[in-house]
Amino acid sequence: MDAKPRECSYLGLSRSGFHRIAYVEWGEPSNRRTLVCVHGLTRNGRDFDTLAAAMADAYRVACPDVVGRGRSEWLADKTGYDMPQYCADLNALLARLDGDSVDWLGTSMGGLIGMALAALPGAPIRRLILNDIGPFIPKSALERIALFVGKDPQFPDLAAAESYMREVSAPFGRLSDRQWHHLTIHAVKQVADGGWRLRYDPAIGDAFRQSEIKDVDLWALWDRISCPVLVLRGRNSDLLLPETTAEMARRGPKSRCVEFPDCGHAPALMAPEQIAVVREFLLSPP
């Protein structure tokens, strides 16, 4: 088993030209069993390091930085940060991985991208795991996210950046000091004046500022998904409501839901018991 991630990249295409998409890959490159892990709105692929390392004995695991985040390039045309662009970029990743099918784990935005792809005819997604996301997102949760997404705070040192990370990401759950540090160092970058900034394009938050925030209803999309789906939920989540997971179990692919205590939106998937749930679902017989 390859115990360390390999840093890779490829070119995506937008209306304004090409842009480089970074990703890390774990496990044996020749393994035909592939898992793609896609992060949330402001995060990056290194969020999955603990999970990917735990799955690398059984899977080739690819964890991309969605355009505008992490080590991926920023779009020249800021209006391009939307679901069609994300789907196109990640479809290019699937082609690069050269597998007939993949399993998909998506946290929040990453889950929405997975749902959008899985709902299309001929989708290559074999199994889908949605981490604290579903086909209904309440306005109140989006209003909370709008309070911080797209902001460009500056930090005098790494300790201040980590303090900020612990505050805005507190719903991730009870993490160790080492885990918080890991999440921080991959989410910030040092700038010329010696300070630190978040490693994403602030323009990813423009959609929250330029249009009225409303409930998001994607039930018609959900009903077109046919692959097996596992839903993970933080017990205190304000984004994935209990009534939503109940409805997800009744219609469409009729998903199963596992709820994790002591966290909200979204479980960090770093705890052994959380990883065990993911592993059991992915490796269980069809």
Burial 20-49 (b: 16+ CB within 10 A, else e): ebbbbbbbeeebebbbbbbbbbbbbbbbbb
Q: Look up the CATH superfamily of 6-138+216-283.
A: Alpha/Beta hydrolase fold, catalytic domain (3.40.50.1820)
CA-CA distance, 213 to 209, in Å (whole number)?
Answer: 8
Domain boundaries, the chain: 6-138+216-283
- Residue 100's pLDDT is 86
State phi, psi for 110 to the nearest 5 degrees: -60, -30
Q: Is the pTM of this model over 0.75?
A: yes
How would residue 234 be classed by pLDDT, with cut points 50, 70 and 90?
very high
- pLDDT (tens digit per residue) in 174-209: 999 999 999 999 999 999 999 999 999 999 999 888
